[in-house]
Amino acid sequence: MYKLMLPDGYKSVLTPRQTQLAIKKVKDFFERDLAIQLNLTRVSAPLFVGSDSGINDTLNGVERPVSFDIKDIDNGNAEIVHSLAKWKRLALKQYGFEAGEGLYTDMNAIRRDEDTDNIHSVFVDQWDWEKHIEKSDRNRETLHNTVRSIYRALRHTERYIADDYAFVERNFLPDKITFVTTQELEDMFPDLTPKERENRIAREKKAVFIEKIGGALKSGQIHDGRAPDYDDWELNGDIVVYYPVLDIAFELSSMGIRVDEDSLLKQLEIRGCSERKNLPFHRALLNGELPYSIGGGIGQSRICMYFLRKAHIGEVQSSMWPEGMIIECKKAGIELL
């Protein structure tokens, strides 16, 4: 059963047509500023990849990709991407990006097993980005500096949109983003669930980077799932902001320094899927054929929803929703596209 929050007294300030114009303003500005902040070049990206390539993002390992065959290719089984986390690292090599340079792309995905609600959709659209770094730069300093650069682009976008739309508070985002690890959150709020901890810290700090996601905490639990073969669980995290419309912690970006040879093998073993090391992508990484990198995804619809103060992600993207959700939203004045 889907989950749905209906804020009391909610009414979108913008009509659906005005919303479309505003979406373009948000996307165009943020995309340009992000490219400047991180020194990124836009590239084209695939909608689907080979099922046996090991390139697709396996998310938590249980989500089913949408798959199909291609008639002109022998054994041409393909699947719609969940994200481009691994493909981008291959692209850095293919396009010849040097250390300090990177790429970004428009990533469209289908996550058929997503639990839909106000902020989750079966259709996923992100700016997927990846940047070549030296092995010596695989550290928290690099991670934190990159987070600050992305946060700077968010703050710039907020000011830009606030100039055109009076309902957007100009300095709602704080000057600086707070850094906190998942273990620190567990230590602070041991009786809360991971999601409750995120809500608590987001309400307090307004913008946080929650670090070290994927590995086990002292309690033996994990804060949230992470695939074992792209982010290094010791050098990753989520950019989370407080969202007043829904009174929740609102994740805008998942990112991290990518696995090297040692962390890949370690994390595959922890997740019980060491056989993946024989897939083409994993072999290339273990053979030292791929650049070291940092990368992530930034939700396009999430960014638009946040800056345009929408109550449902379906107000800024076209997708499919349960019939009951559509009816409830309409009664509550939420116009799904």
- Is residue 254 annotated as a catalytic residue, yes or no? yes
Q: How far is 193 from 316, CA to CA, in rounded Å?
A: 29
Q: 65 with 46: CB under 8 angstroms?
A: no
Q: How far is 325 from 2, CA to CA, in rounded Å?
A: 8
Q: How far is 124 from 25, CA to CA, in rounded Å?
A: 20
- Is residue 57 annotated as a catalytic residue, yes or no? yes
- Is residue 126 annotated as a catalytic residue, yes or no? yes
- Is residue 20 annotated as a catalytic residue, yes or no? no
- Is residue 275 annotated as a catalytic residue, yes or no? no
Catalytic member of 12, 83, 126, 317 = 126
Catalytic member of 254, 263, 300, 317 = 254
Catalytic member of 238, 293, 300, 317 = 238
Q: Among 297, 304, 238, which Cα is nearest to 106's?
A: 297
Name the 3-class secondary structure at 34: helix
State the amino acid at position 42 in one-letter form: R
Catalytic member of 79, 198, 251, 260 = 251
Q: Among 304, 254, 28, which Cα is nearest to 147's?
A: 254
Q: Name the token pair of 109.
A: 């995905």
Catalytic member of 12, 31, 33, 57 = 57
Question: How far is the first Cα of the chain from the last one, in angstroms, to the nearest whole number?
Answer: 21
- Is residue 17 annotated as a catalytic residue, yes or no? no
Catalytic member of 79, 83, 89, 111 = 111
Q: Catalytic positions, please?
A: 57, 111, 126, 238, 251, 254
